[in-house]
Amino acid sequence: MNAPNVTATNTAADSASVGLQAGIAVVHELNHYHLAADATPKEKYEVGLLYLENRMPQRARELINEAVVLGHDSSEVRFHQLLALLSGRTLQQLSAEDFQTLEAARDCLAGADDEWADGVRVIERLLGDIESRTVDPADLARLGEEQSRKIAKHLEMFLTGPLQDQAWWRLIPEAFDGRTARDRLRRTWKFFEPDPVRPRRTFPEPPRVTIGLRIRAYAAGGAFVTVVGYIGVLAARSAQTPVIVAYLLAVLGGFLWAVNGAEWRHRNERRNAKERELRFPGQRRRPPVGGFASQVDRLFSKYFGRYVPKSVDRAVWLAETAGIRRSIRDEVVDAYRDTKVDADAVAWLIRYRVGVVKRQWQQNTLWDHRWRFRTRASTKVAVVVGVTVVVLAGLRALAGAIPVSPLYASLAVPVLLATGASAAVDWLTITTERRRYEHEAKEKDLLYLDSLAAYRRWQERLADTPSDSEMAAWLECDRVLLMNEAIQHYKLLPSNMITHAFIEAPAPGCDRARVVNGPWRYSRYQILIFLLTSEGVRQMAVELDFHNATFHNRQRTNYRFDAVASVHVTEGDQRERTFELALVSGEPLEIPVAGVGEEKLGTGETPGTAVQLTVDAAGLQNTLHVLEGIAAEGKDWIVHEDERSGERINRLKRAVHGLMD
């Protein structure tokens, strides 16, 4: 027996206490475990079966028992009811109610004769002979593949001797094959991706044109046209061809000036607006911490910091894109602010928009507005020509028109100048705003179509996201192979162990995700296995990289039963659960099984459900039961456990006697 000369620590370098430094947290709104309020007994049974298969026996027991009480009964149902009753538990954990369930099964399955009934008979013999350990391994081998696999998986605590060894060795090749089955290495990351939300069509700010501006523009424009028309009448009455031609040229020059001047101003406005967008982020109030805008800020900082173009200094990249980062950020926040969308659901959109900016940078098109909105030389020439023609031809036309009606023509000139200036300014503003709106609307329409195409591509990529059952199956394979590694390292047979226990907990900084009414699954796990032998406890701790199905940072510790000082689970204010194991000498081992920040509810969920399911799937209850007994009684725990088992074995025999006669 090895002395406990190695302290029990986790993978932290400086401390045995590790908090859950959480990455992203995702809740998939899937109906994997959904039960309607008016669910039928059969539906409750089927969902209970899912929980059982995915290693959540406590919830499975509740639903299957409820289905049986409501009348859904058969040999298959009773088989799974027994598995749920016994899965992951020791004899000491069976309650009086559990024994009543076993006893009640006697009168329910008399005369049944199918493969599920055969499975129940094997369970009966297994429980009835738990003390003598005389169950023939061939009994398990003769069962159907599904029945024998499920018994080996769920009743491992009740299998003993050669039967235990045979069942265990049968699981190993299945675990090797199943560990990377169904393209695990390519697909697991998708489970931790948030469900993407559809892009929202956004609209530009409406034209900033007030009613007063329109009234003034129409009034000034009407007065100007009237005066111009009056001067034209005077020019015609002069009967001088040069005057008439000059008048017509002045009108044509004014039209040329107005059209090209509006184009020039529009291009300048668009170029300056783009320049401000890219260059000057401006000042804004910091959004409330934890709110949607704050989370969007975090994502923009994350992805702009990650997607840095090659050969570009990060600081330069962030400084040069500060304005456009602010612009896109505001656009996303405004688009989804009035919805209940979680910020992680638009992470795909933020990544896409950041990727577009990066691509534009690399292709030198990020600043192409400078030439796109550059005013053409022909436009500038047309404006200059128009102004020149208006001035020269207008003066000649006025000179010919005034003698026809000196008083009224003289009064018309200042009115012409005043209304012309006012109308030019007002109509130029209206025209520029209208064109701005049309241009921005077209840009946003194109952006929406591009984003929609990106959304559909992302949906297609996530189409084969693993189900929660697949995640549970892969994790079960990892657990079996790790258990096998520990057994091989300590040169044990499964039948050499008194019992074993394990804990699956999130590794610091991991991503986590789950489906509604399901447990949290993690991108990286801390897994602890405790092998209890007559010589003491063999403990192995590893970190599991779930994406790549690899184990890292193995730590092995051996200690006597009396070296365990205490073991307990603490529950925090936010329902976090921390497993704590302290040896007589050494630092305590603290593992957050369900960490802070995980109370993220899906549709129809109640607080605490996810944490309870996570604790159930992590195997915490059985581990706590075993190690608490060791901490309280030391090596005498083995003797006392056998003594305590005596009466329970007798009651177990009475409960299963004649179960399937």
Examine the pLDDT at 643 and tell me if it is beyond 80: no
Examine the pLDDT at 531 and tell me if it is beyond 50: yes
Q: Are 397 and 235 in contact (CB under 8 A)?
A: yes
Task: Please name the residues in contact with 94: beta carbons below 8 A apart, sequence gap of 6 or more.
Answer: 85, 86, 648, 652
Q: Residue 466: its pLDDT value, please? A: 95
Percent of the chain scoring above 70 in pLDDT: 86
More confident residue, 525 or 129: 525
Q: If pLDDT is split at 50, 70 and 90, which confidence band does 16 have?
A: very low
Listed range (256-265, 390-399, 568-577) with the worst mean pLDDT:
568-577
Q: Residue 651: helix, strand or coil by DSSP?
A: helix
Examine the pLDDT at 392 and tell me if it is beyond 80: yes
Listed range (13-17, 435-439, 499-503, 645-649) with the worst mean pLDDT:
13-17
Q: Which residue has the tokens 């003289």?
A: 410
β-strands 499-506, 512-515: how paired? unpaired
Q: If pLDDT is split at 50, 70 and 90, which confidence band does 610 have?
A: confident
Examine the pLDDT at 105 and tell me if it is beyond 90: no
Q: What are phi and psi of 464, to 5 degrees?
A: -105, 35
Q: If pLDDT is split at 50, 70 and 90, which confidence band does 652 have?
A: low
Q: If pLDDT is split at 50, 70 and 90, which confidence band does 574 have?
A: low
Q: What is the DSSP string of 214-242?
A: HHHHHHHHHHHHHHHHHHHHHHHHHT-HH
CA dihedral 186, 553, 499, 487 (to 10 degrees): 80
Examine the pLDDT at 3 and tell me if it is beyond 50: no
Q: Which residue has the tokens 């027996």?
A: 1
More confident residue, 440 or 638: 440
Examine the pLDDT at 15 and tell me if it is beyond 50: no
Q: Residue 633: helix, strand or coil by DSSP?
A: helix
Q: Residue 8: its pLDDT value, please? A: 30
More confident residue, 195 or 9: 195
Q: Residue 212: its pLDDT value, please? A: 92
Single-letter amino acid, residue 375: T
Examine the pLDDT at 547 and tell me if it is beyond 50: yes
Percent of the chain scoring above 90 in pLDDT: 34
Q: Where are the domains of the chain?
A: 1-32+467-618, 211-461
* 538: β partners: 531, 558
Cα 566 from Cα 588, distance rounded (Å): 9
Listed range (9-23, 193-207, 569-583) with the worst mean pLDDT:
9-23
Q: Residue 540: helix, strand or coil by DSSP?
A: strand
E strand spans, 337-395:
none
Q: If pLDDT is split at 50, 70 and 90, which confidence band does 575 have?
A: low
50-100 pLDDT, tens digit per residue, is 999 998 998 999 999 999 989 898 888 988 998 998 887 777 777 777 777
Instruction: Note the pTM of the prediction, 2 decimals.
Output: 0.80
* 542: β partners: 527
More confident residue, 597 or 230: 230
Q: What is the DSSP string of 3-39?
A: ---S----S-SS-SB-------EEEE---TT---TT-
Q: What is the DSSP string of 40-76?
A: -HHHHHHHHHHHHHTT-HHHHHHHHHHHHHTT---HH
Residues 458-463: contacts with CB within 8 Å, 24+ apart? 458/196, 458/348, 458/352, 459/196, 461/190, 462/190, 462/193, 462/196
Examine the pLDDT at 4 and tell me if it is beyond 70: no
Q: What is the mean pLDDT of residues 279-284?
A: 63
122-139 pLDDT, tens digit per residue, is 887 777 665 544 556 666
441-491 pLDDT, tens digit per residue, is 999 999 999 999 999 999 999 999 999 999 999 999 999 999 999 999 999
Examine the pLDDT at 210 and tell me if it is beyond 80: yes
Q: Residue 109: its pLDDT value, please? A: 63
Listed range (170-184, 218-232, 485-499, 597-611) with the worst mean pLDDT:
597-611
Q: What is the mean pLDDT of residues 100-123?
A: 73
When the pLDDT of each residue in the chain is averaged and rounded to a whole number, the result is 83
**Dihedral sign (CA 225, 226, 231, 233):** positive
**Dihedral sign (CA 190, 195, 199, 205):** negative
Q: Residue 6: its pLDDT value, please? A: 29
